[in-house]
Structure 1
Amino acid sequence: MTVNGTDRSVVIVGAGQAGSALAFRLREIGHQGPIALIGEEIWPPYQRPPLSKKYLTGELERDRLFLKPAGAYDEAGIELVLGRPVTGIDRAARRVLLAGVDNPERRYDILVLATGGSPRLPEDLSDPLPDNIFTLRGIGDADRMRASFAPGRRLLVVGGGYIGLELAAVARLQGLEVTLIEQAPRILGRVACAETADYFRELHTGQGVMIREGVAIAGYRGPVQRPSAVVLADGTEISFDLAVFGIGLVPNDALASEAGLHCDGGVLVDGWGRTSDPGIFAVGDCARLPLDGRMLRIESVHNAIAQAEHLADYLVQPDVSAYAPLPWFWSDQYACKLQIAGLNLGYTSVVTRRGSKSGSLSNWYFRDGKMIACDAMNDARSFMLAKRWLAADRQPTPEMMADPAWNPASF
């Protein structure tokens, strides 16, 4: 079977940023066949980053989260199927099976998995979660958490990655007392250098957040459905009114795995999003793709959109080159805007440069003398330069970056 052609039926499982981008891009470039976008949630595709920021604080109303107006899907001829989990894939019959009794299947010529990920949780937490313990992935999670936030309440944040730090910042700005614990030796241990971690540790402690690093939860105190404290491995007890876990994302690859597709920490795809089945593709947070000599999952809005649109182009006209992204990310905490260009995997040195404004800083990652990434804190200029240099063959050296008299604009 060939995948190109504009009249094939396309079924997209996952009505998030990647799925929506794929569906609309297909229509924009002339795909004429049926497109079905199937979502497990009751909400049409929406932005997730604001959930831990302005939506959680109430500054952003729910309607402003949605990616498209309600009528846009009908106008584009995209069948939007919401609140219907896909329970299985019948590869031989080329159909997906849906929960529910009415019209419980969709047949496809091309199937795209854009199933995203789910919050990681420790095994010792009950299912469902206790009433006062939260994760944050969807609108429902944010609604529950927002209803519980109130000045003076004690919030325990478990996980010192970007989502945990963002939640800590929002909670402090709303007057909650916040303690953050991280099992690794330091915050941001998996995603950033020690210099960037130092910047954000100082930022948060300056706002009154208590940070404990290198500590693990050994147990809980209080009722099973509403614990009131955690006991750490060192014997310390931390009381809380509510707790939120932000300890990473697990790719939603069970559907693919159960269908016999090759999975390993995500659905394995090539540079065109192709899985081990020639009629099935995967994009976004659930997909693990080749990049820089590694198989990686890239958890970002930018990648979800770019990879989905690249796949759409390939499905309509398959002479496009392999997907080769320049990843970038961002995080908002208090008055600090962090912008990240590139991937810092395997870095061997870091050079720090002070920005022209108070509180602005950039950390530049090098691997054996080659620049590979930049963390820019309140320094949009450095972020833009990093993106430009990473896309070019000519890049500054560590020595140039380390010289405070050197002018990057002259390079």
Structure 2
Amino acid sequence: MSRLNRIVVVGASLAGLRAVQALRREGFDGEVTLVGAETHVPYNRPPLSKSVLHGDDDVTLPGAEELGDQWLRGRQAVRLDARDRTVTLDDGTGIGYDGLVIASGARPRRLDGVHALRTLEDALALRAELESGHEHVLVIGGGFIGGEVASTARQLGRKVTLVDSAPYPMYSGLGEEASRWLAGHHERNGVELITNVRVTAVDGGQVRLGDGRTIAADLVVGGMGVLPNTEWLDGSGLAVDDGVLCEPTLFAAKSADIVAAGDVARWPHGLFGGEMVRVEHWSNANEQGAVAARNLLAGPEDAQPFVDVPNFATHVHGARVQTAGLPHLADAASIATGSPEEDRFAVAFSRHGVLVGAVVVNSPKDLIKLKRAITARESV
């Protein structure tokens, strides 16, 4: 710990906050500088597509009050010189460091004429649009953000059309059985579902599809995925490929003083044969920020690999959908409990006979069991 006197954390969302907390709780008494692009105290993002759109402004993130005023709000890192150990901000300020935590997160894919949903400002703007009386909401993308927005808009009494390029919403993350159930669940709750087609343009409320159709909508919302914020690392010497490439311990590849965490980190996961993964969900950022900070203090030789099982949860039209592991790696899948017809079931995913993932609907206890089995690398 004595080798580090100044630590800079770039990114003041969940992973960055957890990193700062971990540094202090591990006894680091040197200088910590947290750089945050937003002016808000770090806040909880999951409510943005659900309760905030209903009018509830509570996005409190436990622990954010611990930061006090000793951090840089509304400042963005624009360049890293890893050799000189300097982070340059958008106002030209250079900040030196002995250790660096990269937690710069991700940004949504955008399309002209389409509302994105990533920040508190995005959510408040979308809420204002929904409150202004727009009757027909078209959502592009059936992932967890798109699905939650569609669900919330239906609860608010809006007509909703959901357009997705896959055969079923969340097809790549849930597998065929659960995503087929989700498609039917959307439709049973009044969502018009259009699949296997991409949106090519939005012009004045006219949404053009790749098959030549045009759909009129009062409000268009995008849930088209995110891109990791790594542009500021161009020329730094760090390896970047769909995120900051890391060692299993979250140290940036070939670096002894830089770690990464959250949506921006991509690392070989030890539970899945070293498969390179980048996980964009709340639980990963929550755990990874703290582990990255502790490993930075420990140093590369004493650092521990990050092997937490990825998991996430979403609520769509009253149903709770949860995943664990990496279902997309599977070469086989089978229903472990329940049935889709009952709106309560669990699907187990395996590769070469070993569990690698699970998806459950309205069955949280089954997810706990399957997650333990994935961690233990049990056979099907």
Q: Give the share of equivalent positions with the same residue, in percent.
A: 31
1:79 is displaced (CA, Å) by 2.3
1:197 is displaced (CA, Å) by 0.8
CA deviation string 1:211-240 (max 9, x = no partner) = 00011224444xxxxx11112222221111
Match of 1:238 in 2: 215
Match of 2:17 in 1: 20
Q: How does 1:363-378 map to 2 (within 5 A)?
A: 363-378=347-362
Match of 1:331 in 2: 314
CA 1:272–1:353: 2 relative to 1, 3 Å: closer
Match of 2:87 in 1: 96
Look up the equivalent residue of 1:267 and give its one-letter code. V
In the alignment, which of 44, 66, 76 is matched to residue 85 of structure 1? 76
Any conservation in 1 of the 2:15–2:289 contact (CA below 8 Å)?
A: yes
Look up the equivalent residue of 1:343 and give its one-letter code. L
Match of 2:232 in 1: 255
In the alignment, the residues of structure 1 paired with residue 285 and residue 202 of structure 2 have an alpha-carbon distance, to the nearest angstrom, of 37
Any conservation in 2 of the 1:6–1:32 contact (CA below 8 Å)?
A: no
Q: How does 1:11-410 map to 2 (within 5 A)?
A: 11-59=8-56, 61-62=57-58, 64-68=59-63, 70=65, 72-74=66-68, 79-100=70-91, 104-122=93-111, 125=112, 130=113, 133-150=114-131, 153-221=135-203, 227-275=204-252, 276-291=254-269, 292=272, 293-318=274-299, 319-355=302-338, 358-395=342-379, 397=380
Any conservation in 1 of the 2:332–2:351 contact (CA below 8 Å)?
A: yes
In the alignment, the residues of structure 1 paired with residue 328 and residue 187 of structure 2 have an alpha-carbon distance, to the nearest angstrom, of 28
CA deviation string 1:114-172 (max 9, x = no partner) = 001011135xx3xxxx4xx2111110100100101146611110012121111100110
Q: 3-state DSSP class of the match of 1:80?
A: coil
In the alignment, the residues of structure 2 paired with residue 193 and residue 140 of structure 1 have an alpha-carbon distance, to the nearest angstrom, of 33
CA 1:277–1:255: 2 relative to 1, 3 Å: farther
In the alignment, the residues of structure 2 paired with residue 121 and residue 152 of structure 1 have an alpha-carbon distance, to the nearest angstrom, of 21
With 48-57 and 110-119 compared, the bigger mean Cα shift is at 48-57
Q: 3-state DSSP class of the match of 2:139?
A: strand
In the alignment, the residues of structure 2 paired with residue 159 and residue 345 of structure 1 have an alpha-carbon distance, to the nearest angstrom, of 18
Any conservation in 2 of the 1:7–1:32 contact (CA below 8 Å)?
A: no
Any conservation in 1 of the 2:356–2:377 contact (CA below 8 Å)?
A: no
Any conservation in 2 of the 1:12–1:111 contact (CA below 8 Å)?
A: yes
In the alignment, the residues of structure 1 paired with residue 170 and residue 378 of structure 2 have an alpha-carbon distance, to the nearest angstrom, of 30
In the alignment, the residues of structure 1 paired with residue 280 and residue 200 of structure 2 have an alpha-carbon distance, to the nearest angstrom, of 29
Number of matched pairs: 372
With 80-89 and 318-327 compared, the bigger mean Cα shift is at 318-327
1:358 is displaced (CA, Å) by 4.7
Any conservation in 1 of the 2:206–2:214 contact (CA below 8 Å)?
A: yes
In the alignment, the residues of structure 1 paired with residue 201 and residue 67 of structure 2 have an alpha-carbon distance, to the nearest angstrom, of 48
1:58 is displaced (CA, Å) by 1.5
In the alignment, the residues of structure 2 paired with residue 274 and residue 169 of structure 1 have an alpha-carbon distance, to the nearest angstrom, of 39
CA 1:216–1:278: 2 relative to 1, 3 Å: same
Q: 3-state DSSP class of the match of 2:178?
A: helix
- CA RMSD of the aligned region, Å? 2.0
In the alignment, the residues of structure 2 paired with residue 83 and residue 363 of structure 1 have an alpha-carbon distance, to the nearest angstrom, of 43
Any conservation in 2 of the 1:6–1:31 contact (CA below 8 Å)?
A: no
CA 1:320–1:7: 2 relative to 1, 3 Å: closer
CA 1:266–1:393: 2 relative to 1, 3 Å: closer
In the alignment, the residues of structure 1 paired with residue 75 and residue 363 of structure 2 have an alpha-carbon distance, to the nearest angstrom, of 43
With 86-95 and 173-182 compared, the bigger mean Cα shift is at 86-95
Match of 1:402 in 2: none
CA deviation string 1:297-356 (max 9, x = no partner) = 011111112222112222233424211121111111121111211111321221114439
Any conservation in 2 of the 1:196–1:363 contact (CA below 8 Å)?
A: yes
Tell me, which stretches of 5 or more residues in structure 1 are unaligned?
A: 222-226, 398-411
Look up the equivalent residue of 1:215 and give its one-letter code. V
1:178 is displaced (CA, Å) by 0.5
1:394 is displaced (CA, Å) by 4.0
1:266 is displaced (CA, Å) by 0.8
